[in-house]
A and B are shown apart, each in its own frame.
Chain A
Amino acid sequence: MTIHSIIFYLLSSVVIVSTGIAVTRRDLVHAVVYLIFTFFGTAMIFYLLGAPLLAALEVIIYAGAIMVLFLFIIMMIRTEPSTAPLIPPGQWWPVIGFCLLYITAGFLFMYQEPDFWVFLTPAMATPGAFGRFLFQTHWLSIEIISLLLLIAVIGALVLGKPAGKKPNKTNGNRI
């Protein structure tokens, strides 16, 4: 047990526990806060494995931008706490089934892979090396994804346009 693996297991338990709490919360804002912890823990794991750029991007994009948008919507709707059971009895079977499936797959992978028990050597990817690798070997997928995002932006613009009349300059979108 090196200090690296101790930190790794600590972080992964933080990630798993906070995800578990997030999906069982009644209060949506609390669920979002726990999910932020999850993303934060994931970022720390990235950092531990020698990818500081990914760690920073994980926090900036997932914890810092996407979850803020979630929070934004949730803050504006008032949800009444319901007393119905969180998971209806009929849905327990798929839950248990998928859990078992994942656990078996995990254990199978652990014992089939010969390199599984080898300790990872500490490595560090500089932002420059990471970018060069990404744009040299995966440039096509990056272009496809950016095209997709562009289409999404244009779509949002079209959807957000008030129908029929020109957007009013002074009363456009005041909150």
Chain B
Amino acid sequence: MTLWISGYILLLVKFGLVLGCLLFLAAYLVWAERKLLARLQIRYGPNRAGKFGLLQPIADAVKMITKEDIIPAEADQSIFLLAPTVVAATALLMFAVVPFGESLAIMGQRIPLVITDLNVGLLFIFALSSLGVYGVALGGWASNSKYSLLGGIRGAAQMISYELALGLSLVPVVMLAGSFSLVDIVNAQSGYPYILVQPVSFAVFFISAMAESKRIPFDLPEAENELGAGYHTEYSGMRFGLFFIGEYVHIQVLGALTAVFFLGGWHGPFLPPFVWLLVKMIFIALVMIWIRGTLPRLRYDQLMALGWKVLVPVSLVNIIVTGAVILMVG
């Protein structure tokens, strides 16, 4: 019984720590994005709230929470209210299987530094990311506005298409590690990170991950200059904030997943494991911001052609080649 209770307390502590870190980082990622993007466009970015605008996330949070939560008169109320939570919750839950260090030993007990080590961890992430589509599609539909509906439909089409490439790009990683568990995948990379043996997989994964998080150059579901704000046009206050949090948590999760699958996870010299994972995550997030500041938006047919005609075939060939090499080497 005491083992149960201590297990529960431990789980709650881990939940609290991970959630706190994720939300804090999400807030400051917004700040970093605004700052970096401004510099890339030769502007200053936020610089009024605190030194270097460092208090800007707090000001934004206060604004979001105190703003009126408007529901359009013709909207489908229950679905309209629920859609943002689906986006935020699926993004946050994905972090549950990401390992952030080797197991700790406290008072003779081994404490794994991961919320839960599922033996189908990788599929768990896919399941959540495929459920995340509903937040976008239903949010767009429930608003009962043409812009939102178009954004929602675009979002659903885009996310289904790129999920395929995302899944196929990770098959070689699973073949190399021999496991769906993220802990095992990280442990298998103690010698060398998989980016060295699977550069094609890495490229396909990174492109489709960016498309999944709906960022420039793949931000067609919310293309400002055609659709207002796309699927979240009608949202205000904290419900809009939840979509926003979902997006930035998603960036971190994708950073963490890229680190776990290709960059060796928490492995690294000198620094403690947790810091290594954080460094890799933030590095990838910054690269994503850099790409956002550099590339123009794709046209819709280009987006679909890239997904179906380039990324899917390339990853299929990559799977066959990897399989052949593994068979030959033994």
Contact = CB atoms under 8 A, between A and B. Distances in A.
Interface of A: 27, 29-30, 33, 36, 43, 52-53, 55-57, 59-60, 63-65, 68-69, 71-72, 75-76, 126-127, 170-175
Given A69-B160, A72-B137, 13 more contacts: A29-B79, A29-B138, A30-B79, A55-B120, A56-B127, A64-B130, A64-B131, A65-B130, A65-B163, A68-B133, A171-B301, A173-B304, A174-B300
A85 to B, nearest CB: 23
A27 B79 CA distance: 12
A53 B180 CA distance: 10
B119 A60 contact: no
Contacts of A126: 119
Interface stretch (B149-157, B237-245, B319-327): B149-157
Contact of B137 (A75, A172, A173, A174): A75
Interface string B136-179: 01101100000001101110110010010000000000000000
B76 interface: yes
A30 B126 CA distance: 24
Nearest to B164: A65
Contacts of B130: 59-60, 63-65, 68
Given A29-B141, A170-B301, A174-B301, A68 B134 contact: yes
Interface string B286-305: 00000000000001110010
A56 B149 contact: no
B272 to A, nearest CB: 31
Contacts of B304: 173
B70 to A, nearest CB: 21
B152 A36 contact: no
B123 interface: yes
Contact of B123 (A53, A68, A75): A53
Contacts of A53: 120, 123
Contacts of B154: 175
Contacts of B140: 75
30 contacts: A29-B76, A29-B79, A29-B141, A33-B138, A36-B134, A43-B127, A53-B123, A57-B123, A59-B127, A59-B130, A60-B126, A60-B127, A64-B126, A64-B127, A64-B131, A64-B163, A65-B130, A65-B163, A68-B133, A68-B134, A69-B160, A71-B134, A72-B137, A72-B153, A126-B119, A127-B119, A171-B301, A173-B301, A173-B304, A175-B157
Given A53-B123, A56-B120, A173-B304, A75 B131 contact: no
A134 to B, nearest CB: 15
Contacts, number: 82
Interface of B: 76, 79, 118-120, 123-124, 126-127, 130-131, 133-134, 137-138, 140-141, 149-150, 152-154, 156-157, 160, 163, 180, 299-301, 304
B153 A56 contact: no
A72 B138 contact: no
Contacts of A170: 301
A65 B160 contact: yes
Contact of B152 (A63, A69, A75): A75
Contacts of A71: 134, 137-138, 141, 156
Nearest to A175: B300
Contacts of B76: 27, 29
A128 to B, nearest CB: 8
A33 B140 CA distance: 14
